[in-house]
Amino acid sequence: MQQTTNKILVTGGAGYIGSHTVVALVEQGFDVVVLDNFSNSQPESISRIEQITGVKLDVVNADVRDEIALQRVFELHQFDAVIHFAGLKAVGESVDQPLRYYHNNVQGALQLLRVMGDGNCKKIVFSSSATVYGDPSSVPITESFALNATNPYGHSKLMVETLLRDISSSDADWQVSILRYFNPVSAHSSGLIGEDPNGIPNNLMPYISQVAVGRLACLSIYGDDYDTVDGTGVRDYIHVADLASAHIKALQALAPGHGCQAYNIGTGRGYSVLEMVKAFEAASGQTIKYKIAPRRIGDIASCYADTSKSARELGWTAEHDLNGMMQDLWHWQSNNPNGYS
Ligand code: NAD
Ligand code: WQD
């Protein structure tokens, strides 16, 4: 396939979703530069990417808010597009440390967009989140649903979405895709890269896989009295490799006249917490000890995507099924019980 977009800056490329996307980009022949401050990732993830791809990566250890460092990167390279993953992502932490979240996520995006504009690089794919839909009035969720964040993390994503829409309205040269991820899970099929959260995981699947390797004793299931198939919360879990391929499609779909578009990136199908536990047990052969705990504040009953816009406009749909997600997750966690360390 002929590529019109070749040289890509990937901010946050050492992180969970970024590392998988960098692998996919390199495998598709893109020329990638990673910029990361390693505030929530390990240099080891870069070595693993290099091991998988056989390509030495160009990595800049810098903060996206560092104007001088960013300008220098744009002086050294003529980028065709940027994929902007760099940001903080823990909802609970954002409630405790709102300024840190706004500063990192909003100021980081502002700085990046300014330097991009100065360097006449006006194509960007931005990591947003289903969290921008808040508590949706119904499911499945389409991109035209009301946007209504309920915590500083979600607000920071909405602010950047607004920024992107505004710059695109003011200057038609900007070509922007906002990807609203649902619940990213699992790991690369090699078992070499995966999710390695700091401290005790907030998210369901890393918690389950750490129970499986004995790092954690017991999963707490937050609520079994929701109006769902079995009373536990329902989410749209998507394999991180499918997320990675969505970024490639999103880059390839950037073209004159694109403007600013948002896309749901999920599978379109929801699974309950208990269904996820059972599926993990079946794929791993491990038994997951769990107990029912009270509902977690801020949680909603059900959240899953209508993915027809991304299928229609990006030509992308998720390919991995639930069992595949669980097998790859177990491959990663059992090979790397302590993550990258
Ligand atoms: P991650 O923390 O694993 O990766 C983010 C990377 O960005 C890390 O390597 C971190 O060191 C880097 N970083 C953070 N702030 C930076 C800064 N100021 N300058 C340079 N580098 C910086 O997170 P992830 O799960 O890979 O998420 C990537 C993006 O996707 C984030 O923007 C996140 O908000 C968004 N997202 C994640 C999820 C999820 O559940 N994982 C869901 C929806 C959206
Ligand atoms: C999934 C389900 C929990 C942990 C969060 C962010 C969202 C996005 C993705 C960044 C829910 C239940 C969980 C546990 C449990 N991130 N659960 N025990 O809350 O859907 O989304 O991550 O953008 O913004 O809010 O994901 O994995 O935390 O929870 O029972 O120990 O698992 O109640 O039903 P969530 P999650």
Domains of the chain by start residue, with CATH: 7-182+239-266+306-318 (3.40.50.720)
Average pLDDT over every residue of 3-13: 85
The atom of ligand 2 lying closest to the CA of 273 is: 32
Which residues' Cβ are closer than 6 Å to ligand 1?
11-12, 14-18, 36-41, 63-65, 85-89, 104, 108, 127, 129, 181, 184
Q: Are strands 81-84 and 58-61 parallel, antiparallel or unpaired?
A: unpaired
Q: Which of 9, 19, 39 to mutate to test the pocket of ligand 1 (most atoms within 8 A of CB)?
A: 39
The atom of ligand 1 lying closest to the CA of 63 is: 19
3-state secondary structure of 311: helix
153 as an active site residue: the answer is: yes
Is a pLDDT exceeding 60 seen at residue 111?
A: yes
Q: Mean pLDDT across the chain, nearest whole number?
A: 97
Alpha helix locations (H) across 28-127?
43-53, 67-76, 91-96, 98-101, 108-118
pLDDT of residue 5: 60
Is a pLDDT exceeding 90 seen at residue 213?
A: yes
Residue 66 to residue 128: CA distance in whole angstroms: 22
Predicted confidence (pLDDT) per residue in 271-301, tens digit: 999 999 999 999 999 999 999 999 999 999 9
H/E element, 83: strand 81-84
Note the ligand closest to the C-alpha atom of 151: 2
Average pLDDT over every residue of 142-156: 97
Residue 103 to residue 84: CA distance in whole angstroms: 15
Q: Which of 186, 195, 204 to mutate to test the pocket of ligand 2 (most atoms within 8 A of CB)?
A: 204
Q: 203: Cβ below 6 Å to ligand 2?
A: yes
pLDDT of residue 1: 41
pTM of the full predicted structure? Answer: 0.98
Note the ligand closest to the C-alpha atom of 15: 1
Is a pLDDT exceeding 70 seen at residue 4?
A: no
- Nearest-CA residue for ligand 1 atom 34 is 89
- Nearest-CA residue for ligand 1 atom 41 is 184
Q: How much of the chain is in helix, strand and coil states, percent to nearest 5? A: 40, 20, 40
